Structure 1
């Protein structure tokens, strides 16, 4: 029988729209203005801190919707942004610099909805407000570090082949100069170095000197590699901050842009993103006496570093293992001493290296060196900030046995310090230090204005389209309008579900554009039905031919739009991606609602019965 859907198809349409409505529901509840309080290095938010904050808010008559302590962080929700901003100022004044007090927007989704994965759409920086960092990568440090690694490798290779050298020194433009003891070994050394380092330019400047330098192409490749690796590490660190809709992209040759929607305070973000912390595992030179360290008389392969209490430790300069091999870490309590510890997991290569180190150095002390780069307050000739290397010995322990990929580090200070160190190690050490050259805070008022204007435009557009459909197509126009509303619900629900989808101002434009394109499919179907009736077809056959005949045209038109959106998403960045996502989703969903959805309603009203006239 014409124009009758089987039961399963009716249930499929109803179920799909119901699921879309369920996951679009969290957007109705919105978000609460909140203040988040986290301990910085040396401090930790605890029950005492919570009580102090509660008393402070009560004394200033600042009512909260809720205030909870979870995972060492306090989250206080407020009724409005005025209370939020005032509370933040009062809390900063009370707690001082020992805590990071950040403005936040916390979802107000009910617990039952959150338990099934319901969450509101992620908003971009232009709608939600937040912070934008422009970071510059210190390429000089990256290339110098690469130069040091190359020289260590050269020394090892020459010793292995029994080629005597007087020294390996730095040359111009990050080149390395090898001075041989025996000029007769020059040809052997050239062959060895050219074979071992095919990407370097190896030349002999005189009879006992060999130079290894980076070509222009290799220099560009090294810079690009440093940028890309830093980008990947920053993405991991942003994940630790819990900002999944962040924008992280390269800008120019040596800069990176990071946009964090929803974060109005830069303290915590700067602390995690800008940190260049890593660990180095070095052996302690036990032959250096305390008197020699006091007078700074140490061998050339040794340097003096200090523990947190100022105690000097003589360490070999060569790092046995670096933080680049760390793949996971977590903070906890040492059951034996009651102090804090950081559990570290190494990759396969790092585990093998650590196993060999501990095997060969049993009963010898090994130090864990915490290294980071900080702003020196000085600038070079080009106006760039000069970063200084700061190091601190966080533990010195005697190697009691052979161990591999999993071990614990003690002596990392308070739990807050241990957790911070764990986050930085887990997300990876930056290949090259970065400095924030520009930071900009976007207030939530701009986002609210954009959202209000976007919603007004969308509602006006929707209202005009619905009025047109009702006036021109009557009952069929009502059916098209219902399908249009279902289309909007499904778009919002799917945008809320997709982990990488972010709503931006251009994204709102994409949704509004898809409204018109959704109705366009119904216009094609309805006009085809009217044409079939004018050609003398029976009503039921005209409805059937209208839907079947218009399908090819609708599919071709929408497919080209979706392909264009895919290209926009692939080559575009930031807001362009937002427009491409909402447009492609809206168009794809419109093919379901405008064809299957409206036909289900038409079948309910007209299917399987004798009809003399259509309201179209």
Structure 2
């Protein structure tokens, strides 16, 4: 019916008012953004007069959610990284060796002495002195295998064990390699996200591409080099027993050991056991602090498992050096003075305050399980982003103005009602985008322009249908009512099919494509609302007041 009940009128205008209020902060973007940053800084570090003055620039009783600007509008850094998944095979083999060694020692009467042989990175070769005990040795080592907990690897074991001529060969199975690769990329993705979140950037895009690549886009950061400094360091922390210390970089480390340089002692190299006692994966916290001499340091704390291993080793090796290794460099090699219980300690070195803070961030976020190769890197300056914003504003403004003029010329007063609804439509769209925290990109601006077109299309269908009904000599009220009723199915069909397309784009797309899909999908919702309810309410209100005998559309 043409008439609206009071509660419907109130609800429609309430929705419009809510959209206007939610979208209002975007009209004062810089002021609101600075106020939000100041409030976040106050919560994190405490209030200062400068921060309080900046936070007061936008009233706290008004909404402060903004439409986030994407990389192409704000400027920032873009990286495409490839995860070196094969790196994990070597660390898996190194971690497996102590377990195999201890298991075979229990069968020494049968297998004899056990020695680790030079091996490729993705396998272990172990020689036993009594080849007659090979069958027993293979049985023991195979008993250490574990089933793979993935659908593709169901029924498979994680290792393949073979033996010939007194030498046992242990490899990761193909199914385990696939599962490890997937796990490594997922873990890298999460750690990169945590590291970037620690820095406090706005709305980064971090997502997987293909089997072993990660796309990273961070708006507002200075350069790709700055972004690489945050995420490019593996921050692989281990605590290893020290075998010897020397100055020969070409010295033989021996099987089961490795030679690593000292970070703060040029020309000094440590031979350490390759298998660590504790790793950074068992850290639960790391914070910048100062040592007893007031120099910057990093304090750390292990979980229960790490604390037990760390405590047992320090108890049994008092007087021996113990290397703290970060990314294959010894940053400190203190001598164990006493049993360290409780699982906490401190890392000292020639750190600056900034270096100790960054190291704490990296350790707290977690170690990357494998290195990254950066295949593509771009820095988009803020000037280019501003140019994109200006170009988007111009394109949207021209399209919007052309539509408004056309609707007014083509449909007169009804066209003006459609234009009012169109302005409310865009306002509601920005309110929704602000409320859900969506990121606006250049394709997103294209989605807004398409939304304007879809909204006009709905109004054109309605007005043309009203024109047809007026030709059948029905009264104005009945013609308007039938026009809305008969155009509804066509409007819904067009918008539902387009909405399905937007959902598919969001599901299979990435980055800017998703931004376009979100803007288009939300825009379709606001378009249908304004076309069916807002314009109808405006026309109904006008008709109730004027009661014209005839109307022209």
Bin of the TM-score, shorter chain as denominator length: 0.7 to 0.9
Does residue 144 (structure 1) correspond to residue 90 (structure 2)? The answer is: yes
Q: Which residue of 1 aligns with 2:9?
A: 10
Structure 2 CA distance for aligned equivalents of residues 390 and 575 of structure 1: 40
Pairwise CA distance, 1:112: 2.3
Unaligned stretches of 5+ residues in structure 2: 34-40, 146-156
Question: Is the deviation greater in 420-429 or in 242-251?
Answer: 242-251
1:484–1:515 Cα contact (<8 Å) kept: yes
Residue in structure 1 matching 2:136, options 170, 188, 196: 188
Residue in structure 2 matching 1:355, options 294, 305, 308: 308
Structure 1 CA distance for aligned equivalents of residues 115 and 484 of structure 2: 83
Secondary structure of the residue that 1:270 maps to in structure 2?
helix
Pairwise CA distance, 1:473: 2.1
Q: Which residue of 2 aligns with 1:154?
A: 100
Q: Which residue of 1 aligns with 2:431?
A: 493
Q: Which residue of 1 aligns with 2:488?
A: 551
User: Relative to 1, partners in 2 of residues 1:328 and 1:553: Cα closer, same or farther, differing over 3 Å?
Assistant: farther
Residue in structure 2 matching 1:578, options 515, 530, 543: 515
Q: CA offsets, 1:60-107, max 9 Å, x none?
A: xxxxxxxx99989xxxx9xxxxxxxxxxxxxxxxxxxxxxxxxxxxxx
Q: Which residue of 1 aligns with 2:154?
A: none
1:68-467 to 2 correspondence within 5 Å?
111-112=57-58, 118-159=64-105, 164-172=112-120, 174-197=122-145, 198-206=157-165, 208-216=166-174, 218-250=176-208, 255-282=213-240, 306=262, 308=264, 317-332=274-289, 340=296, 342=298, 344=300, 346=302, 350-358=303-311, 361-362=314-315, 367=322, 369-372=324-327, 389-393=328-332, 398=337, 400=339, 402-403=341-342, 407-409=344-346, 411=348, 413-436=351-374, 438-467=376-405
2:22–2:432 Cα contact (<8 Å) kept: yes
Q: Which residue of 2 aligns with 1:505?
A: 442
User: Relative to 1, partners in 2 of residues 1:411 and 1:361: Cα closer, same or farther, differing over 3 Å?
Assistant: closer
Q: Higher strand share goes to which structure?
A: 1
**Count of residue correspondences:** 518
Does residue 471 (structure 1) correspond to residue 419 (structure 2)? The answer is: no
Q: What is the CA RMSD across the aligned residues, in angstroms?
A: 3.9
Q: Which residue of 2 aligns with 1:379?
A: none
Q: CA offsets, 1:290-319, max 9 Å, x none?
A: xx8799999987778758478998865532
Pairwise CA distance, 1:558: 1.4
User: Relative to 1, partners in 2 of residues 1:430 and 1:521: Cα closer, same or farther, differing over 3 Å?
Assistant: same
In the superposition, the TM-score normalised over structure 1's length comes to: 0.72
Secondary structure of the residue that 1:243 maps to in structure 2?
coil
Pairwise CA distance, 1:187: 1.9
Q: Which residue of 1 aligns with 2:537?
A: 600
Structure 2 CA distance for aligned equivalents of residues 148 and 578 of structure 1: 44
Structure 2 CA distance for aligned equivalents of residues 401 and 357 of structure 1: 7
In the superposition, the TM-score normalised over structure 2's length comes to: 0.80
2:202–2:219 Cα contact (<8 Å) kept: no
Q: CA offsets, 1:255-289, max 9 Å, x none?
A: 5443322223345323211112132234678xx8x
1:507–1:575 Cα contact (<8 Å) kept: yes
Structure 2 CA distance for aligned equivalents of residues 604 and 588 of structure 1: 23
1:3–1:540 Cα contact (<8 Å) kept: no
Structure 1 CA distance for aligned equivalents of residues 101 and 62 of structure 2: 59
Q: CA offsets, 1:95-142, max 9 Å, x none?
A: xxxxxxxxxxxxx99742578562543222323322223434344533
Pairwise CA distance, 1:371: 0.7
User: Relative to 1, partners in 2 of residues 1:345 and 1:14: Cα closer, same or farther, differing over 3 Å?
Assistant: farther
Q: CA offsets, 1:491-536, max 9 Å, x none?
A: 223223333x222221111110111101222223333333444445
Unaligned stretches of 5+ residues in structure 1: 35-67, 78-107, 373-388
Secondary structure of the residue that 2:162 maps to in structure 1?
strand
Question: Is the deviation greater in 362-371 or in 255-264?
Answer: 362-371
Structure 2 CA distance for aligned equivalents of residues 259 and 204 of structure 1: 49
User: Relative to 1, partners in 2 of residues 1:210 and 1:362: Cα closer, same or farther, differing over 3 Å?
Assistant: closer
